Amino acid sequence: MDCIFCKFVTGEIPVKKLYENEGAVAFLDISPLSKGHSLVIPKKHFVKSFEMDSQAWASVADAISQTSKLLVEKLGIKDYNILQNNGKLAHQEVQHVHFHIIPKTDSSGLEIKWNPIKIDTDSLFKFLVE
């Protein structure tokens, strides 16, 4: 497999690890949006989040929590974004599930523009659950 994140997991390519558990690893992003911008990835290769099993989710959730605490304590930040993209249209650049933890200290970092649409949620709900 030619996945750069899998090479981070195996140690073939070194990364600045911040936290690691049995199923996930957290490390500093090499193209950060802000100081402390980190990535959390499952050690097993998954392309999209719905592919992850409950064990992978638990490992990733632990790594996100522990890394967030580290960034808050060491950098003195109060606010941060946790971002996860699924697929090219959703801006997923590396096809291995990964979560960004992006510290916010000012207007730098992640910027989000919310563009709500009008939709009949009653009809959509019925379609989705029936």
Active site residues: 98
Element counts in the chain: helices (H) and strands (E): 3, 5
Q: How many CB atoms lie within 10 A of CB 98?
A: 21
∠ CA(77), CA(78), CA(80), 5° rounding? 85
